[in-house]
Structure 1
Amino acid sequence: MKCLIEIDTNAFAENYLGKWEVNQTDLRLNTLARKYHEMCEAYDRSVCTGKSEFDQCAMPVDYWERMRVSENARKVLKEICEEAEKEGFTSQQMHNAISNFRI
C-alpha cells in the first residue's frame, strides 16, 4: 500500500523533535559552574576523610571538616561570581547554573 501523503521530514523534525542549538551564554555559564564544582571537589578531597558511598566524592565526617568545606565553597562561589559578573552575568544566573550543573 502506498502512502498518499508526502511528509517533509525536516519540517516534522523541527516541529516535533525541536532544533538543537548551542546557546553561547548557557555554554559559558556551564563552564563556570563546572569550574566551581571542580575547585570545590579538589579542596574537599584534600580536607575530607570520608567518601560518599554513591559517587565516591569527598565527604566531611566531622564539624571541623564541614566547616572547612563550607568556608572554601563560599570563597570559591564569591570568586566565580566575580568572574561571571565581569563577563556580564548576574550572580543569580551563576547560582542557577551551579545548582543545575550536571556532569
Structure 2
Amino acid sequence: MVKIGIIGGSGLDNPEILKDPQTLEVETEYGKPSSSLLAGRIGGIETVILARHGRQHQFSPTEINNRANVAALKKAGVTHILATTACGSLRQEIDRGHLVVLD
C-alpha cells in the first residue's frame, strides 16, 4: 500500500488539505524532526506532511535535521516522499515559476 510523505514549506500547513488529520509526535535515532507529522488523506491516499522549517518556520536551512525528518516519515510508514522547495537557480533558462524535477 502506498503512503505518501510530503516535506514542504508553510504553504502545506493548511488544515483543510488533509481529510481526518491527526498529529503524530515522532522521535528518531537522529533526534526530533523539524515538526510534528500531520497524517490524513489527500484524494483518498494516505499522506503524512512534515514542515521542513518547523510549524512556526523557526529553523533556518542549516538548522534542519534532514536525517531525522526522513527517519520520522519512514517510522510513520511512508513509502514515497515528495519534497517541495522554493529556491532560485543559477541557470538563466530556469526562471521563477518553473517546475524542476531532479532525476
TM-score using structure 2 length: 0.31
Higher helix proportion (structure 1 or 2):
1
Larger Rg: 1
Structure number with higher relative contact order (C-alpha < 8 Å, ≥ 6 residues apart): 2
